[in-house]
Amino acid sequence: GRGAHVRRPLTILVGDSGVGKTSLLVQFDQGKFIPGSFSATVGIGFTNKVVPVDNVKVKLQIWDTAGQERFRSVTHAYYRDAHALLLLYDITSKSSFDNIRAWLTEIHEYAQSDVVIMLLGNKADMNSDRTIRREEGERLAREYSVPFMETSAKTGVNVELAFTAVAKELKSRAIQHPSEPKFKIHEYIEAQKEKSSCCGFF
Ligand code: GDP
Ligand code: MG
C-alpha cells in the first residue's frame, strides 16, 4: 500500500565497553547470540531495520559505537543527529551502572533536547551474577524520566520490545494524526511488561 514511511531515524547504542551493545544489535538484527566479545570491532557501524508499527514501516538506522566508549569520545555529531539513544549498562557491572549518570550528562549536553532515550539493563540472563537490582535501574530511570527495561542479548528477552517501543515513539512524533491519542512510551512499555509477566520478563 501507500502507507506513510518514517525515513531512517537514527538510533545509537551507547554505554560502556562490554555491556553488550553489539550483541544486542546482532540479536535484534539476526535473532541470534554470538558468544564472545565484539570489542575488537573497528569504528562505528550501522544496521538498517524495518520495524512495522501499525501500517507504517519505520526504517530504523541503528548505529553501534565501538572503541568510543570513553566519555567525550563518541563524536558529538552523532549525538546531535540522533533521534533515539539506547543507553546500556550491564546488570553484573556496577561500574557500567555508575557511569550511566555521566553518559546522561553528556547526552543532555550534546543531543537534541527531544531525543528519545531508553535505559537498558542488559545481560538479564545472568541473574546469579547480578550486582544491580532491577529496582535500582528503575529508580535511576525515573529520576531522569526515561523508560527502562532489562534485556538479554543472549536470550533475546525484551530486545524486540526495546526497539519496537523506540520505533513507535519515533513514528508518533514524525507522523502526527490529530485524531489519535499521543503515543506514550512509558505506558506502552508498562503494558507490555504486564502482558509478559508470566514469561520471564525481568
Ligand atoms: P559491547 O562492547 O558493548 O559492544 O559488548 P559486546 O556485545 O561485545 O559484549 C561483551 C561481552 O558480553 C561478550 O562476551 C558478549 O558475549 C557478552 N554479552 C553481551 N550481551 C550479553 C547478554 O545479554 N548476556 C550474556 N550472558 N552475555 C552477554
Ligand atoms: Mg561493541
Amino acid of residue 196: S
Nearest Cα residue to atom 13 of ligand 1: 37
Q: Is 168 in the pocket of ligand 1 (CB under 6 A)?
A: no
Nearest atom within ligand 1 for CA of residue 26: 7
Is 178:195 a contact under the CB 8 Å cutoff? no
Handedness of CA 52, 90, 38, 107 (dihedral sign): positive
Ion ligand 2 neighbours, Cβ < 5 Å: 21-22, 38, 66
pLDDT, one tens digit per residue, over 84-132 is 999 999 999 999 999 999 999 999 999 999 999 999 999 999 999 999 9
From 14, 37, 69, give the residue whose CB has the most ligand 1 atoms within 8 Å, as the site to mutate: 37
CB atoms within 10 A of CB 98: 12
Q: What is the pLDDT of residue 130?
A: 97
pTM for the structure as a whole: 0.89
Is 122:161 a contact under the CB 8 Å cutoff? no
